[in-house]
């Protein structure tokens, strides 16, 4: 799943259209949107880091996000001298009020400029050699609690700078700036996909685990042990179905013991 977060409706609108998202009317606290195949969603957070953090939490609660999902905060931001319309992936987020800093991990190739960003509590009036916004620190801080750092990013499009100050910005300009970078946004999401897939494969529940814990009683530690044993079995004997060779099992403890014994009695070869 990919989750997009925009502060303003005008930032979200081009993305809602591009990804063909429909509003989930049953959720009223924040406006949430989702694609028909449920692989991509969007939340309009409103302005400010508290709103951004709250929207991330709400989104998580409503859509039951997973730690292997991709999270992307998209919006416009000001910078002293970067060109209007330049797309920037954020490599450092500083919360201006709390002077806390986060460093999003960009592990993929990108055409975007990477830049630092400062999140302010109120609209900033002085341009600096860093992007500034009012949401990223709230978004990132909360998404980090729910997701995996390498899959959480902020993409900002430069909307104003010293030569073209913020007064000239309106909703139409913002829509055009975001719309112009639909492909950039897709590229970032696409670059993150293999990382998310790899994480998914690591965290996947082993074959038969679910059916076995429904069939037999296991304590919590026995469940963990079962998951480990099933993984070991799959790694060592990918073509042999363990279930076929287990008979007359009375309970979970006995099942674990039988798998353990089978593994222990088998030859161990580390390479093919």
Partner 1 sequence: MISTIYIEAEIAEHPRTLDILKRFPYASKVACERYGEIFNRKSQNFRLQKKQPALILAKKHKGMVLPTPKQYAIGAEHNYYFSHMLNCLYDCRYCFLQGMFQSAHYVLFINYEDFIEDMHASLEQHNGQAVHFFSGYDCDSLALDPVTNFTDEFLPFFEKNPNALLELRTKSTQTRNLLKRNPIQNCVIAFSFTPDKIASALEHKAPNIEKRLNAIIDLQQAGWQIGLRFDPLIYTKEYKKEYTELFTRLFSRINVDLVHSVSLGSFRLPKAYFRKVEKLYPDEKLFSAPMEEEDNNIGYSAEIRNDMLAFCTNIITQHIPAEKFFPCHETV
Q: Is 97 an interacting residue with respect to partner 1 (CB under 8 A)?
A: no
Q: Is 191 an interacting residue with respect to partner 1 (CB under 8 A)?
A: no
The residue among 254, 218, 255, 259 whose CA lies nearest residue 237 is 259
Rule CB under 8 A: choose which of 8, 32, 70, 116 binds partner 1: 116
Rule CB under 8 A: choose which of 107, 122, 171, 179 binds partner 1: 107
Q: Is 162 an interacting residue with respect to partner 1 (CB under 8 A)?
A: no
Of 169 and 195, the one with the shorter C-beta distance to partner 1 is 195
DSSP 244: G
Q: Is 24 an interacting residue with respect to partner 1 (CB under 8 A)?
A: no
Q: How far apart are CA 54 and CA 72, in angstroms?
A: 15
Q: Is 236 an interacting residue with respect to partner 1 (CB under 8 A)?
A: yes
Q: How far apart are CA 259 and CA 267, in angstroms?
A: 14
Asked whether the CA dihedral 14, 19, 23, 29 is positive or negative, the reply is negative
Q: Is 258 an interacting residue with respect to partner 1 (CB under 8 A)?
A: no
Rule CB under 8 A: choose which of 83, 103, 128, 251 binds partner 1: 103
- Closest distance of CB 173 from partner 1, Å: 28
Q: How far apart are CA 46 and CA 100, in angstroms?
A: 22
- Closest distance of CB 21 from partner 1, Å: 27
Q: Is 91 an interacting residue with respect to partner 1 (CB under 8 A)?
A: yes
Of 10 and 196, the one with the shorter C-beta distance to partner 1 is 196
Q: Which long-range contacts (CB under 8 A, 24 or more apart) does 225-228 make?
A: 225/256, 226/252, 226/255, 226/256, 226/259
Q: How far apart are CA 225 and CA 227, in angstroms?
A: 5
CB-CB contact of 80 with 128 (8 Å)? yes
Of 27 and 253, the one with the shorter C-beta distance to partner 1 is 253
CB-CB contact of 49 with 119 (8 Å)? yes
Of 35 and 105, the one with the shorter C-beta distance to partner 1 is 105
Q: Is 43 an interacting residue with respect to partner 1 (CB under 8 A)?
A: no
CB-CB contact of 150 with 105 (8 Å)? yes
Q: Is 161 an interacting residue with respect to partner 1 (CB under 8 A)?
A: no
Rule CB under 8 A: choose which of 105, 121, 124, 223 binds partner 1: 105
CB-CB contact of 110 with 187 (8 Å)? yes
Interacting residue ranges for partner 1, rule: CB under 8 A = 91-92, 101-103, 105-109, 114, 116, 144-145, 147-150, 195, 198-199, 201-202, 206, 228, 231-233, 235-236, 263-264, 267-272
């Amino acid at each position: 799943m990919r989750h997009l977060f925009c502060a303003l409706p005008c930032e979200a609108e081009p993305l809602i259209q591009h990804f063909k998202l429909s509003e989930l009317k049953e959720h009223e606290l924040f406006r949430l949107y989702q694609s028909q195949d449920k692989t991509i969603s969007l939340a309009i957070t409103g302005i400010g880091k508290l709103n951004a953090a709250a929207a991330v939490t709400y989104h998580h609660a409503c859509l039951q996000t997973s730690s292997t999902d991709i999270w992307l905060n998209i919006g416009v931001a000001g910078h002293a001298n970067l060109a209007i319309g330049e797309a920037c992936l954020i490599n450092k987020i500083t919360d201006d009020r709390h002077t806390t800093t986060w460093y999003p991990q960009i592990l993929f190739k990108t055409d975007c400029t990477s830049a630092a960003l400062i999140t302010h509590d109120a609209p900033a009036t002085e341009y600096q050699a860093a992007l500034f916004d009012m949401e990223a620190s709230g978004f990132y801080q909360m998404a980090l609690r729910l997701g995996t750092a390498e899959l959480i990013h902020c993409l900002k499009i430069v909307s104003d700078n010293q030569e073209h100050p913020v007064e000239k910005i309106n909703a139409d300009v913002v829509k055009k700036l975001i719309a112009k970078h639909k492909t950039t946004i897709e590229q970032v999401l696409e670059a993150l996909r293999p990382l998310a897939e790899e994480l998914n494969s690591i965290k996947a529940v082993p074959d038969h685990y679910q059916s076995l814990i429904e069939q037999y009683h296991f304590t919590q530690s026995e469940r963990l042990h079962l998951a480990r044993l099933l993984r070991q079995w799959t790694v060592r004997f990918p073509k042999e179905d363990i279930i076929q060779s287990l008979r007359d099992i009375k309970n979970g403890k006995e099942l674990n013991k039988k798998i353990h014994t089978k593994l222990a009695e088998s030859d161990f070869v580390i390479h093919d």
